[in-house]
Amino acid sequence: MSDTETTTATATPGTTGASIQLQQVTKEYAGQAQPAVDHIDLDIKAGEILMLVGPSGCGKTTTLKMINRLIEPTSGRIVLDGEDVTNQDADQLRRHIGYVIQAGGLFPHMTVAANVGLVPGMLKWDKQRIAERTDELLELVGLEPGQYRDRYPRELSGGQQQRVGVARALAADPPVLLMDEPFGAVDPITRQRLQDELLNIQEELGKTIVMVTHDFDEAVKLGDRIAILDVGARIVQLDTPEELLQNPADDFVVDFIGKGAALKTLDLTRVSDVPLRTGTTARASTSTADAVAAARAAGDTYVVVLDQRDRPLRWHRIEELEAAGETIGSRADEDLPTLSRRSTLNEALDTMLTASQNGVIVTGRRDAYVGFLTIDTVMSFMSPGDEAGAGS
Ligand SMILES: Nc1ncnc2c1ncn2[C@@H]1O[C@H](COP(=O)(O)OP(=O)(O)OP(=O)(O)O)[C@@H](O)[C@H]1O
Ligand SMILES: [Mg+2]
């Protein structure tokens, strides 16, 4: 909301993550007719958040657990940062891969600090270093160390337990974080906070994160890319959220995305990402006739009135402006629908609907006028993929 923030959406994080490749990885459980994971090939980039979504039982958890070999693949190769780790000592491997499960998966008989310090302890860090690291991580996940470090998991809310789970997974600064429905068990508001927290942490740390979720909205919000899996962990589509929403590969993906696809696209797109119209502007206290002439010459039917620092005051139809006198007044319209460039198209639509206007003014740094966005522009971003001829 601050008008001093830069226009760069994300600071380029120093990537500390590792790339992960699954090559023809298969898991056959004893006594099962079909493989749970059937020759999956997956190329995960260093520093990205890859979301795995798909119907229950399609092999998401199995795929995830094969990355850190909590489950041994039946065949195939797993390559971490270019190194084949398929036959590396599994315990060794797991210390370099953080793992977060639903409800935090904390040890109930251990304090928060002991839970977080678990892996560093195994790595034989000295006590002082573990204590410092624990406090640092609790702060990172938004828990005041003095207040929480000596509590037991049962003395925490679900969301707090989840935070501790994330802190524990990050403890030894692993390049890879695997998360299996980490926010599944918390209420929607807490979930949203945890998601935002994770994005903040990720901006700072640049880990490679592979996360399983049931919640497609969560996948869209967090994922750099989303893999939609079907039975046997068959990859139906692997794409950015934008691509998935706009060009779903087939009906399976369309069903998965669900009805809200159009609105989800609006959540993904920021006002700064779409073409704005500049229209005709005029400063308060200048000549009405000049402004009207400029608007007519430009083919505009509206004039946006700005104050001395280019902040929008109100807008007028040409006729209204002409009727209002020789000099343009400096009155501000309290109800002028205005948005920052950082807003999403969904917020833009909301603002227009609330104001019953078919456009909204967009402001940039120091609330200065940037242009305006019309409802037509927003609508053009709502067209679902199947209309765009992606079917068949
Ligand atoms: N230990 C096991 N022994 C035998 N079969 C298993 C075992 N674990 C999982 N499976 C089977 O393998 C398939 C994939 O299971 P997995 O747990 O990977 O699915 P998932 O996509 O994570 O599902 P969910 O969304 O319900 O968590 C399922 O058919 C499941 O029944
Ligand atoms: Mg699962």
Binned at pLDDT 50, 70 and 90, residue 391 comes out as very low
Q: Given a cut of 90, is residue 304 above it in pLDDT? A: yes
Which residue type occupies 168? Answer: R
Q: What is the CATH number of the domain that holds 367?
A: 3.10.580.10
Q: Is the dihedral of CA 139, 143, 144, 150 positive or negative?
A: negative
Residue 103 lies in a domain: no
Do 79 and 183 fall within a single domain?
yes
pLDDT (mean) for 349-369: 87
pLDDT above 70 as % of the chain: 92
Strand intervals (E) in 9-56: 20-27, 37-44, 49-53
Q: What is the CATH number of the domain that holds 214?
A: 3.40.50.300
Residue 264 lies in a domain: no
* Ligand 1: centre distance to CA 36 (Å): 7
What domain range includes position 27?
16-96+174-258
Do 182 and 243 fall within a single domain?
yes
Do 282 and 376 fall within a single domain?
yes
Q: How far apart are CA 292 and CA 100, in angstroms?
A: 62
Burial call 135-166: b when 16+ CB within 10 Å, e when fewer: bebbebbbbebeebbeeebeebebbbbbbbbb
DSSP-H helix ranges across 108-187: 112-116, 118-122, 127-140, 145-148, 158-170
pLDDT of 212 reads 96
Residue 72 CB less than 6 A away from ligand 1: no
* Ligand 1: centre distance to CA 59 (Å): 6
Residue 52 lies in a domain: yes
Q: How far apart are CA 271 and CA 66, in angstroms?
A: 41
Selection from 382, 374, 375, 380 nearest residue 277 by Cα? 374
The ligand whose atoms approach the alpha carbon of 60 most closely is 1
Boundary-marking domain end, from 173, 193, 224? 173
Do 252 and 370 fall within a single domain?
no
Q: Which residue has the higher pLDDT, 48 or 335?
A: 48
pLDDT of 96 reads 84
Do 194 and 327 fall within a single domain?
no
Boundary-marking domain end, from 197, 232, 258? 258
What token pair was written down for 363?
Answer: 């402001």
Q: Is the dihedral of CA 235, 241, 243, 249 positive or negative?
A: positive
Do 181 and 167 fall within a single domain?
no
Residue 91 lies in a domain: yes
Do 200 and 239 fall within a single domain?
yes
Which residue type occupies 388? Answer: A
Q: Given a cut of 80, is residue 168 above it in pLDDT? A: yes
* Ligand 2: centre distance to CA 180 (Å): 7
* Ligand 1: centre distance to CA 177 (Å): 21
* Ligand 1: centre distance to CA 62 (Å): 6
Considering the chain, what is the average pLDDT of its residues? 87
pLDDT of 383 reads 59
pLDDT (mean) for 138-145: 88
Q: Given a cut of 90, is residue 130 above it in pLDDT? A: yes
Do 229 and 135 fall within a single domain?
no
Do 80 and 136 fall within a single domain?
no
Q: What's the distance, CA 206 to chain centroid?
A: 14
Q: Given a cut of 90, is residue 77 above it in pLDDT? A: yes
* Ligand 2: centre distance to CA 251 (Å): 23
pLDDT of 2 reads 40
The domain total for the chain is 3
* Lowest mean per-residue pLDDT among 122-136, 272-286, 372-386: 372-386
Do 82 and 184 fall within a single domain?
yes
Residue 7 lies in a domain: no
Do 252 and 205 fall within a single domain?
yes
pLDDT of 11 reads 37
CA distances from 252 to 138, 223, 248 (A): 41, 19, 9
Do 169 and 186 fall within a single domain?
no
pLDDT (mean) for 182-192: 77
Boundary-marking domain end, from 156, 173, 190? 173
The predicted-structure confidence for 225-266, as pLDDT tens digits, reads as follows 999 999 999 999 999 998 998 889 999 998 888 766 667 778
What residues pack around ion ligand 2 (CB closer than 5 A)?
61
Smallest CA separation from ligand 1 atom 23, residue = 57
Residue 388 lies in a domain: no
Residue 87 CB less than 6 A away from ligand 1: no
Smallest CA separation from ligand 1 atom 11, residue = 36
The predicted-structure confidence for 306-323, as pLDDT tens digits, reads as follows 999 999 999 999 999 989
Phi-psi region of 24 (alpha: psi -120 to 50; beta: other; left: phi over 0): left
Residue 104 lies in a domain: no
Residue 53 CB less than 6 A away from ligand 1: no
Residue 119 lies in a domain: yes
Q: Pick from 51, 62, 180, 211 the residue to mutate for probing ligand 1's pocket: most ligand atoms within 8 Å of its CB.
A: 62
